[in-house]
Amino acid sequence: MLFHLSNALSWFTRYEALENEISAVAHTQIPSLSSREVRDYTGPIVKRAQAAAEGRLISYNNGLVDPRYRFRRQTLYKALSPLIPSVLLPDMRAIIPDDLAQQRKSERDKSRYSDSNTGRGVRQGNVEKRAQALKMRSQGLPIAHIAQTLSVDPKTIRRWSKKPK
Using one digit for the tens of pLDDT, what is the confidence trace for 38-75? Answer: 999 999 999 999 999 999 999 999 999 999 999 999 99
Closest CA to 5 of 88, 72, 80: 80
Residue 98 maps to a domain = no
Q: How far is CA 105 from the centre of its chain?
A: 12
Residues 66 and 137 in one domain: no
* The model's pTM: 0.57
Structural domain containing residue 139: 124-161
Helices (H) and strands (E) in the chain, counts: 8, 2
Q: Can you give the pLDDT at residue 120?
A: 63
Burial zone of 6 (CB within 10 Å; 0-12 exposed, 13-18 middle, 19+ buried):
buried
Residue 153 maps to a domain = yes
Whole-angstrom Cα distance, residue 121 to residue 159? Answer: 8
Q: Can you give the pLDDT at residue 28?
A: 93
In angstroms, the Cα distances linking 81 to 27, 42, 74, 97, 161 are 23, 21, 10, 9, 55
Which stretches in the chain have pLDDT values below 70? Answer: 111-121, 164-165
Residue 62 maps to a domain = yes
